[in-house]
Amino acid sequence: MKIDPTTNKTIRIILFIFQAGIFHFRFWRYQQWYDIVVDDRLPFLIKQRRLWGARNLFELNEFWVSLLEKAYAKLNGNYTNLGGGLPVNALTDFTGGIEQRFEFKSNLSVTHLRPDDLFDFIKSCIDFGSLIACSINADKRKTETILSNGLVIGHTYSITNYHVLPVTYDNKLSKLSDRGLIRFRNPWGNDIEWNGKWSDADPVWNLLDEKTRRRLSIQRKHDGEFWMSFNDFYKEFDVMEVCHISPDTYDEFGLNTQDYKHHWHMWYVLGSWRAGENSGGSCANSGCRHGCYYWRNPQFVIELTLNRSFNSNRLCMMIIALMQKPISSNSNSISNEQYVQIRLFKIKPNVTICEKKVYKPDEVERIASTGPYVNRREVSLLLKTTTGAYLIIPSMADVDQNCDFLLRIFSQDTTLGRTFVNIFANEHSEDFSRRNLNPQYTISEQSPMNIFFDATHSRENFPSSDLDEKRIDVIPIRPQRYADK
């Protein structure tokens, strides 16, 4: 400890002794931060005279990424367990964030995101520091095949910036220009880049003034960084994954939110499915009105009321994320993951709300879902909705399975009118979740989990063939679909 003579405050001095060869990392798992310590021994290929794993191709004496990979492999058990997962899983483990996944060719309608709003969504994500990855599905093509346009199949790119182009019209008031540009980075950091419109060498850049080109750092360099129009991005890529920085990360590391005027409110609960008690499985019927076991699943009730400063007709923003706890703490394999889903219902106005009540199909109206059951670690639902009482039901596809889960809820411009409760169909079961209720975290209102969603969809928008089937969902292979058992 040392006293700062200018402020008379105590300063904590941390000394890094690199000669010790010890490196400390922190990773997030299931609402907890874990400390991982590794030594400086790294796998090395003797014949090739280079490191075996992740490395800097140009700065050979830079080792932080190799050490990070080693620590992450230790968290997951070994290097082998790092393969086969989704990029957004790693981003979540690094930041404690909440993930979203968009498949442009299949599930934009399920996520309530209109294609016309996607560019605005990307802008907002970048403005608020979210991490974005995108890729092209391999299908039957070989992974890491380089296409004629310079893009690589089954390869993850990062999205790092955007630029809004001025809108021009013809004499019929039809738009002539691209809406905007997106900047990408190939982690290979070499000359394998997009070579189409708005690539480094494309003369179309001359349409922009020199000041704009300089601000965007437009250079003909083989560094893996390139620009594309949003239209080409939407056409060429299949998957976009977003990791929004979680509120507890700001608290954990003492970071500041970007706007203290309005906040997101966060609640989380740790819950469980237990065979013979509350593991009701899925339902093959979209309306689910035939008395199946689905309604035995855990039921969570939340009542949203607007802050007094807002109009009562204003829509509320809400994000719901369900993360299943891994069977093995050091395994990243999707084979250990259950097929999970969230459904959101609005409780009808004439229904009495009480803690011990188990709600039935005729007492609620289904308004949204995370989509098909998927064997993914986390699924999320983002939407705008009105005030009122809501029922959240997380479920697995199969009946009578044991699994623990983390349910996180963000709401904007709202307060809870009643206690956030967990209801079990078996009234003698222990209420695991209320003991873990933690409503203290907040985040900026203008978070990228934002304004492009509408929850005024009727039940007809969610046919059972789209929402209640199983689906394998792993990059780089296009998801396969399976019917419910």
**Domain membership flag for residue 383:** yes
Q: Is the pLDDT of residue 417 over 70?
A: no
**Domain membership flag for residue 33:** yes
The length of the chain in residues reads 485
Residue 241: predicted pLDDT = 93
Q: Is the pLDDT of residue 239 over 90?
A: yes
Q: Is the pLDDT of residue 414 over 60?
A: no
Q: Is the pLDDT of residue 117 over 50?
A: yes
Choose, from 137, 186, 297, 450, the residue flagged as catalytic. 186
Weakest mean pLDDT among 111-120, 285-294, 368-377, 467-476: 467-476
Q: Is the pLDDT of residue 202 over 70?
A: yes
Identify the residue with better confidence: 174 or 299. Answer: 299
Identify the residue with better confidence: 346 or 105. Answer: 346
Residue 455: predicted pLDDT = 29
**Domain membership flag for residue 180:** yes
**Domain membership flag for residue 268:** yes
Proportion of the chain above pLDDT 90, given as a percent: 32
Q: Is the pLDDT of residue 425 over 60?
A: no
Query: Which domain does 320 fall in, by range?
Result: 262-482
DSSP string, 13-61: -----GGG-EEEEEEEETTEEEEEEEES---EETTTTEESSS--SS-TT
Phi/psi region, residue 224 (left: phi>0; alpha: psi -120 to 50; beta: rest), is left
Q: Is the pLDDT of residue 360 over 70?
A: yes
3-class DSSP state of 317? strand
Q: Among 387, 237, 395, 402, which Cα is nearest to 317's?
A: 387
Identify whether residues 78 and 116 lie together within a single domain. no
Q: What is the spatial distance between Cα 244 and Cα 258, in angstroms, rounded to a whole number?
A: 14
How many other CB atoms are found less than 10 A from the CB of residue 472? 15
Confidence grade of residue 244 (pLDDT, cut at 50, 70, 90)? confident
**Domain membership flag for residue 365:** yes
Q: What is the spatial distance between Cα 264 and Cα 440, in angstroms, rounded to a whole number?
A: 10
Residue 140: predicted pLDDT = 77
- The residues near 400 (Cβ < 8 Å, ≥ 6 apart) are 275, 276, 279, 281
Q: Is the pLDDT of residue 219 over 60?
A: yes
Q: How many CA atoms lie within 13 A of 149 on its CB side?
A: 16
Confidence grade of residue 251 (pLDDT, cut at 50, 70, 90)? low
Residue 193: predicted pLDDT = 93
Q: Catalytic site residue 186?
A: yes
**Domain membership flag for residue 17:** yes
Identify the residue with better confidence: 142 or 369. Answer: 369
Q: Among 416, 389, 414, 379, which Cα is nearest to 264's?
A: 414
How many other CB atoms are found less than 10 A from the CB of residue 454? 14
Identify whether residues 207 and 347 lie together within a single domain. no
Identify whether residues 276 and 387 lie together within a single domain. yes
How many other CB atoms are found less than 10 A from the CB of residue 209? 9
Q: CA dihedral in degrees (438, 442, 445, 447; nearest 10)?
A: -90
Identify whether residues 398 and 280 lie together within a single domain. yes
Identify whether residues 40 and 123 lie together within a single domain. no
Confidence grade of residue 225 (pLDDT, cut at 50, 70, 90)? very high
Residue 343 buriedness (CB in 10 A; 0-12 / 13-18 / 19+)? buried
How many other CB atoms are found less than 10 A from the CB of residue 393? 23
Residue 424: predicted pLDDT = 56
Q: Among 270, 31, 244, which Cα is nearest to 122's?
A: 244
Weakest mean pLDDT among 53-57, 336-340, 458-462: 458-462
Q: What is the spatial distance between Cα 428 and Cα 419, in angstroms, rounded to a whole number?
A: 20
Q: pLDDT tens, 3-28?
A: 555 555 554 444 445 567 899 999 99
Domains identified in the chain, total number: 3
CATH of the domain at 175: 3.90.70.10
Identify whether residues 203 and 291 lie together within a single domain. no
Identify whether residues 185 and 122 lie together within a single domain. yes
Interstrand relation of 340-347 and 364-369 (parallel, antiparallel or unpaired): antiparallel
Q: Catalytic site residue 244?
A: no
**Domain membership flag for residue 256:** no
Q: Is the pLDDT of residue 420 over 60?
A: no
Identify whether residues 303 and 447 lie together within a single domain. yes
Q: What is the spatial distance between Cα 336 and Cα 377, in angstroms, rounded to a whole number?
A: 9
Confidence grade of residue 267 (pLDDT, cut at 50, 70, 90)? confident
For the CA atoms of the chain, what is the radius of gyration?
A: 24
Q: Please, what's the b/e burial string for 2-28 (b: 16 or more CB within 10 A of its CB; e: otherwise)?
A: eeeeeeeeeeeeeeeeeeeeebebebb
**Domain membership flag for residue 90:** no
Q: Is the pLDDT of residue 110 over 60?
A: no
Which residue's entry shows tokens 């933690």?
A: 438
Residue 161: predicted pLDDT = 94
Confidence grade of residue 108 (pLDDT, cut at 50, 70, 90)? low
Please, are residues 154 and 205 in contact by the beta-carbon 8 Å criterion? no
Residue 397: predicted pLDDT = 92
Final residue belonging to a domain, choices 187, 211, 243 = 243
Identify whether residues 313 and 428 lie together within a single domain. yes
Q: How many CA atoms lie within 13 A of 193 on its CB side?
A: 23
Strand partners, 267: 409
Residue 3: predicted pLDDT = 54
Strand partners, 324: 405
Q: What is the spatial distance between Cα 408 and Cα 323, in angstroms, rounded to a whole number?
A: 8
CATH of the domain at 332: 2.60.120.380
Continuous H helices in 35-156: 64-76, 87-95, 115-127
Please give the model's pTM, rounded to 2 decimal places.
Answer: 0.74
Q: pLDDT tens, 152-163?
A: 999 999 999 999
Q: Is the pLDDT of residue 369 over 50?
A: yes
Give the single-character DSSP code of 294.
G
Q: What is the spatial distance between Cα 61 and Cα 361, in angstroms, rounded to a whole number?
A: 62
Confidence grade of residue 323 (pLDDT, cut at 50, 70, 90)? very high
Q: What is the spatial distance between Cα 104 and Cα 125, in angstroms, rounded to a whole number?
A: 17
Mean pLDDT of the chain: 75
Choose, from 155, 244, 263, 265, the residue flagged as catalytic. 155
Please, are residues 244 and 129 in contact by the beta-carbon 8 Å criterion? no
Identify whether residues 277 and 227 lie together within a single domain. no
Residue 475: predicted pLDDT = 26
- The residues near 91 (Cβ < 8 Å, ≥ 6 apart) are 97, 99, 131, 133, 241, 243
Identify whether residues 445 and 472 lie together within a single domain. yes
Identify whether residues 272 and 398 lie together within a single domain. yes
Q: What is the spatial distance between Cα 300 and Cα 420, in angstroms, rounded to a whole number?
A: 7
Residue 111: predicted pLDDT = 55
* Token pair listed for 16: 């890094």
Residue 208: predicted pLDDT = 87
Q: What is the spatial distance between Cα 186 and Cα 194, in angstroms, rounded to a whole number?
A: 10
* Token pair listed for 469: 């089937």
Identify the residue with better confidence: 6 or 366. Answer: 366
